């Protein structure tokens, strides 16, 4: 039997993750779950939001389901440490970013797929006053470890860095500005990681019969990094004659996002552009209550909703948050494990509940969150899970 490392984390992560396990059990997925420690409590009490025992468990079992964590600015992080841990030079870091680095989870997959009947679906007005509700089926492949989010950055860069940069003619523009007044974030990408994410995108398109793969970058301006990705995409696309390679600029793609989103199949991009474009597409299919993701490395895979710990709602009892993003992340885990039958069973049950519309969380009713949503027709988190289970 498969063992899954369950990482609830903080806030609503502690609510939606156990609900996902309840649904997986009900759907007939046989697994052991080992709960592991991650998040704010472990920072406050141990000075480490990602204890080594958790890393060891993930190393051993290779598959993790993750809820969400809370991150706070460093000054708050220091204040909330146990008194005996303060002033020891401990520095808070995001445990999910650390997991991606430790296990080289370099491929992030974020499907953005509309459910029929979801009141949050994007609609488009036609010239004759009628409306279209195009069903979107886009899957974003985001390079998860490099690029602008790799963390190679400085405020007041050291002299060696400044000197190295001065060898570039374009640094002339900054020449009279003192280093103390300069901040630098680099965008480093490698051929190897770019080839890996682009090939993964094409393989996925082939497996699930998407007709196009779009590289969403900015090669006309970011000539070196985006330019390298475009060249690699063109080379790799030759191995997939049945799939068209499109390329769009991130800015234009955002502007045209609502024009024809239903035309895009698989989209592939660097870390930050992938972050942006996947949030944009997620907004067209229901937003944070529906946005799921997978972080894949060569050995380890971590599945998580893209929302955070939503502290505003963490203490509400009963809970009102939408567990579907977490459930869809669990579905991605099942597909990764080859459990397609159970995955489809859960997906179909979710689709049925959304389409029938009898049971909806507050976000699906476009209500402002709070206790009162339950009097205004919204269901609780638990009721949503129960309804989905009843449709399995
Ligand atoms: P958030 O995603 O936690 O919440 C933003 C808002 O989205 C919430 O106030 C709520 O209105 C809505 N929302 C989120 N999840 C929902 C759900 N399942 N159902 C219904 N509504 C939902 O982002 P926020 O408020 O910016 O960050 C809160 C904390 O979470 C911070 O400490 C942040 O650092 C952390 N965070 C963690 C992430 C992760 O664990 N991967 C990702 C994003 C934020
Ligand atoms: Mg984001």
The secondary structure of 181-212 as a DSSP string is: G-EEE--B--HHHHHHHHHHHHHHHHHTT-SE
Among the bound ligands, name the one nearest to the CA of residue 97: 1
Question: Which pLDDT score, from 0 to 100, does residue 73 have?
Answer: 86
pLDDT at residue 74 tops 90: no
Render pLDDT for 78-127 as a digit per residue (tens, 0 to 9). 999 999 999 999 999 889 989 998 999 999 999 999 999 999 999 999 99
CA of 348 to the centre of ligand 2 (A): 27
Is 312's C-beta closer than 6 angstroms to any atom of ligand 1?
yes
Q: How buried is 122 (Cβ within 10 angstroms: 0-12 exposed, 13-18 middle, 19+ buried)?
A: buried
pLDDT at residue 151 tops 90: no
Q: Are 140 and 274 in contact (CB under 8 A)?
A: yes
Render pLDDT for 345-359 as a digit per residue (tens, 0 to 9). 999 999 999 999 999
CA distances from 19 to 7, 58, 97, 365 (A): 13, 21, 24, 21
The secondary structure of 217-284 as a DSSP string is: E-TTTSTTHHHHHHHHHHHHHTT-TTSEEEEEEHHHHHHTTTTSGGG--EEEE-HHHHHHHHHHHHHH
Q: Residue 199 has which token pair?
A: 């090939």
User: What's the CATH code, domain 122-149+187-284?
Assistant: 3.40.718.10
- CA-nearest of 115, 119, 136 to 388 is 115
Question: Which pLDDT score, from 0 to 100, does residue 97 have?
Answer: 86
Render pLDDT for 312-327 as a digit per residue (tens, 0 to 9). 999 999 999 999 999 9
Rounded distance, CA 345 to CA 39, Å?
32
Q: Mean of the pLDDT values across residues 68-81?
A: 92
Question: Which pLDDT score, from 0 to 100, does residue 310 have?
Answer: 97
Is 68's C-beta closer than 6 angstroms to any atom of ligand 1?
yes
pLDDT at residue 190 tops 90: yes
Q: Report helix, strand or coil for 85.
A: helix
Say whether domain 1-106+295-392 belongs to CATH 3.40.50.360.
no
Among the bound ligands, name the one nearest to the CA of residue 275: 2
Question: Which pLDDT score, from 0 to 100, does residue 45 have?
Answer: 96
Question: Which pLDDT score, from 0 to 100, does residue 86 have?
Answer: 92
Q: Whose C-alpha lies nearest to ligand 1, atom 40?
A: 68
Q: Residue 49 has which token pair?
A: 């939001």
Q: What is the pTM of this model?
A: 0.95
Render pLDDT for 258-316 as a digit per residue (tens, 0 to 9). 999 999 999 999 999 999 999 999 999 999 999 999 999 999 999 999 999 999 999 99
- CA-nearest of 299, 280, 343 to 23 is 343
Q: Whose C-alpha lies nearest to ligand 1, atom 30?
A: 308
Question: Which pLDDT score, from 0 to 100, does residue 76 have?
Answer: 92
Question: Which pLDDT score, from 0 to 100, does residue 75 have?
Answer: 86
Rounded distance, CA 159 to CA 7, Å?
42
Among the bound ligands, name the one nearest to the CA of residue 281: 2
Give the position of tokens 């903080």: 10
Q: Give kind and range of the element (H or E) at residue 113.
A: strand 107-113
Average pLDDT across the chain, whole number: 97
- CA-nearest of 361, 287, 362, 309 to 67 is 309
User: What are the start and end residues of each CATH 3.40.718.10 domain in the chain?
Assistant: 1-106+295-392, 122-149+187-284
Is 96's C-beta closer than 6 angstroms to any atom of ligand 1?
yes
Render pLDDT for 24-54 as a digit per residue (tens, 0 to 9). 999 999 999 999 999 999 999 999 999 999 9
């Amino acid at each position: 039997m498969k063992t899954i490392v369950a990482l609830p984390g903080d806030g609503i992560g502690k609510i939606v993750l156990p609900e996902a396990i309840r649904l997986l059990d009900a759907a007939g997925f046989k697994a052991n779950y080992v709960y592991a420690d991650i998040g704010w409590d472990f920072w406050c009490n141990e000075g480490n939001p990602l204890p080594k025992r958790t890393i060891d468990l993930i190393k051993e079992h290779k598959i993790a389901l993750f809820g969400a964590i809370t991150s706070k600015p460093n000054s708050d992080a220091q204040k909330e440490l146990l008194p005996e841990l303060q002033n020891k030079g401990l520095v808070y870091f995001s445990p999910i970013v650390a997991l991606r680095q430790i296990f080289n989870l370099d491929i992030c997959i974020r499907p953005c797929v509309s459910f029929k009947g979801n009141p949050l679906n994007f609609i488009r007005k036609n010239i004759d006053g009628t409306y279209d509700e195009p069903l979107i089926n886009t899957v974003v492949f985001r390079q998860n470890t490099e690029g602008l989010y790799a963390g190679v950055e400085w405020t007041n860069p050291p002299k060696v860095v400044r000197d190295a940069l001065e060898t570039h003619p374009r640094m002339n523009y900054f020449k009279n500005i003192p280093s103390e007044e300069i901040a630098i974030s680099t965008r480093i990408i490698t051929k190897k990681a770019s080839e890996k994410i682009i090939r993964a995108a094409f393989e996925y398109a082939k497996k699930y019969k998407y007709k196009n793969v779009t590289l969403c970058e900015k090669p006309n301006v970011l000539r070196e990094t985006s330019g390298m990705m475009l060249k690699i995409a063109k080379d790799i696309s030759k191995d997939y004659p049945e799939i068209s390679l499109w390329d769009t600029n991130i800015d234009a793609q955002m502007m045209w996002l609502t024009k024809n989103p239903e035309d895009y199949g698989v989209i592939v991009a660097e870390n930050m552009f992938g972050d942006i474009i996947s949030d944009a597409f997620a907004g067209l299919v229901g937003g944070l209550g529906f946005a799921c993701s997978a972080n894949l490395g060569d050995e380890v895979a971590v599945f998580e909703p893209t929302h955070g710990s939503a502290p505003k709602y963490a203490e509400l009892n009963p809970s009102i948050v939408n567990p579907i993003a977490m459930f869809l992340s669990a579905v991605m885990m099942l597909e990764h494990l080859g459990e397609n039958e159970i995955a489809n069973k859960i997906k179909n049950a979710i689709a049925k509940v959304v389409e029938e519309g009898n049971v909806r969380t507050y976000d699906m009713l476009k209500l402002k969150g709070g206790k009162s949503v339950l009097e205004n027709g919204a269901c609780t988190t638990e009721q949503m899970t129960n309804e989905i289970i009843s449709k399995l």
